[in-house]
Structure 1
Amino acid sequence: MIYFEDIEVGATTLFGHYDVTREEVIEFAQKYDPQPFHLSDEAAARTHFGRIAASGWHTTAMTMAVIARHVVATEQAGLGSPGIDELRWLKPVYPGDRLTVTGTIVEKTPSRSKPNIGSFRTETTVTNQHGEPVMRYTSIVLMLRKPAD
């Protein structure tokens, strides 16, 4: 199990990859962000996107899927997140893109009120297959501390 004490400021983790499909982009848009440039080639061609682009919220959800799978696979003692800061969608994400998710620990703080918990901040960057950043944010993660022996 990975605990708060195992987290090192400055450490970078490759969480994994996500392959974006046209079907998923359209399905997500139909349910959650039904703007024409997420649903129609013709409508998207009349915008700066040029073609169907994933919703920024879909990009965020795909990123979370990659991170959550990594957290489960590596058996982290995570307790969720109270939020994120400075979310930026930097470039459009298109069907056929391969997203890569990395995170760098920028700060960690033991809880003053709950001695069995700590929090840390991670600068998360998502890049496309060309190495271009498409999204960036800072997450705040809560994590259990190592139990006293």
Structure 2
Amino acid sequence: MRYYEDIEVGETREFGEYHVTKEEILEFAEQYDPQPFHTDETAAEESAFGELVASGWHTAAICMRMLVDGPMQDRASMGARGVDELRWKQPVRPGDTLSIRTEVIDKRVSESDPERGYVDSRLEGITQDGDVVISWIGLGMIARRNPGDD
């Protein structure tokens, strides 16, 4: 298990592989983001995208799943304080395969609870072609191995 003390600013990791299907794009959009360019191929052709594209929220959910299945598995995670700077940079299309890259950009001990540290990490979702399609800064909370050892 990796605790706050084990994580270094500048640490970068790449992982995951998720193949996005047309069926999944349609199913997610019908339930959570029913805009025509996510739910109707004909309407999507007339949109700014020119074809069916995944909801940005769908893309975020896919990346979150890869994050949980990846580096969060071995972290003493205590949840998160939120997300900053969420950006949908390019659309995700049926047939894209996504992976993620994370970089620790800041860490500090919580002033209100010495049992936890704050670890801020930039996440980027990347296509098989190397295009960044989404990014955000996750404001993680990680348990400390030895609270009070400062």
How many correspondences in the alignment? 148
TM-score where L is the length of structure 2: 0.94
| Paired residue type of 2:69 | R
> Secondary structure of the equivalent of 2:134?
strand
The CA distance in 2 between the partners of 1:98 and 1:2, in whole Å, is 28
The CA distance in 1 between the partners of 2:10 and 2:83, in whole Å, is 18
The CA distance in 2 between the partners of 1:5 and 1:17, in whole Å, is 29
Let me know the Cα RMSD of the aligned residues: 1.4
Partner of 1:145: 144
Partner of 1:131: 130
Partner of 1:104: 103
Partner of 1:10: 10
Which aligned segments of 4 or more residues in structure 1 are displaced greater than 4 angstroms? Answer: none
| Paired residue type of 2:42 | E
Task: Return the offset for 1:82.
Answer: 1.3
Task: Return the offset for 1:23.
Answer: 1.1
| Paired residue type of 1:38 | H
| Paired residue type of 2:91 | P
Gaps of 5+ in 2: none
The CA distance in 2 between the partners of 1:15 and 1:80, in whole Å, is 20
The CA distance in 2 between the partners of 1:120 and 1:109, in whole Å, is 7
> Secondary structure of the equivalent of 2:93?
coil
* Residue deviations 1:114-144 (CA, integer Å, cap 9, x gap): 1110011111111111101111111100000
Task: Return the offset for 1:51.
Answer: 1.1
The CA distance in 1 between the partners of 2:14 and 2:5, in whole Å, is 20
Partner of 1:43: 43
CA pair 109-72 structure 1, distance change in 2 beyond 3 A: closer
| Paired residue type of 2:110 | S
Task: Give % identity.
Answer: 41
Partner of 2:77: 78
How does 1:110-129 map onto structure 2 within 5 Å? Answer: 110-129=109-128
Gaps of 5+ in 1: none
Task: Return the offset for 1:15.
Answer: 3.2
CA pair 14-20 structure 1, distance change in 2 beyond 3 A: same
Task: Return the offset for 1:17.
Answer: 1.9
